[in-house]
Structure 1
């Protein structure tokens, strides 16, 4: 059990390398990733997007899959997109809020 938790943190860290194409901020810091579970070589990612009509959905999903498949023990990635709870700026991490503020995008 502890191995799964350790690996899951590894995958969270890996996804900090996947950037939102519109802002120089990771999908993790954007708050797009709701959960990560690993089971027998498959990583299951639960995520959302900032808007239903986001033009970058396939690009972001492809980048997430590619990055996780770089991990030697991972054979497949299952991405499940959810819209509830909806994304809001409150999902930004503190690091994400600071980056957005530095770019003049957020006043928080």
Structure 2
């Protein structure tokens, strides 16, 4: 199972599972949507940092990016992703692949993320 949003994330679009995603895929995305960015009060999914979730059996691979290279929180974010997904029944292993294609941009933020950032006093 693979749900790829990398090629379709446009300004204000919703990052997440495709319309035809099964219940397991939706649970994986929903679980990742609870993992906050450590710097701002928005989830990694709403930040559009998660590009793809591929689940084959109990092995889950998350393809994601970061807003900038050299972020000191890389390891913490990856650990948070692994820990969150391991709580999902049926997940036996979590692998994380980092990609820089496409390069993350603030234009990829969901509309909800934009509102939450504004409410927190963070300008875009």
Structures share fold, TM-score greater than 0.5: yes
Question: Once the two structures are superposed, what CA deviation does each residue of 1:1-59 show, in whole Å capped at 9, x if it has no partner?
Answer: 7x963211111100111011111111001110001111110111010001011111100
- Partners of 1:100 and 1:35 lie apart in 2 by 24
Q: Secondary structure at the match of 1:45?
A: strand
Aligned length: 106
Runs of 4+ with >2 A deviation: 3-6
Aligned residue in 2 for 1:21 = 38
**Could you list the runs of 5+ residues in structure 2 that have no partner in the other structure?**
2-19
**Could you list the runs of 5+ residues in structure 1 that have no partner in the other structure?**
none
Whose helix fraction is larger, Structure 1's or Structure 2's?
1
Aligned residue in 2 for 1:73 = 90
Aligned residue in 2 for 1:32 = 49
The TM-score with structure 1 as length reference comes to 0.91
After TM superposition, give the deviation of residue 83 of structure 1 in Å: 0.5
How much is the aligned-residue C-alpha RMSD, in angstroms?
1.6
After TM superposition, give the deviation of residue 106 of structure 1 in Å: 2.4
From 95, 98, 101, the equivalent of 2:112 is 95
The TM-score with structure 2 as length reference comes to 0.80
Aligned residue in 1 for 2:123 = 106
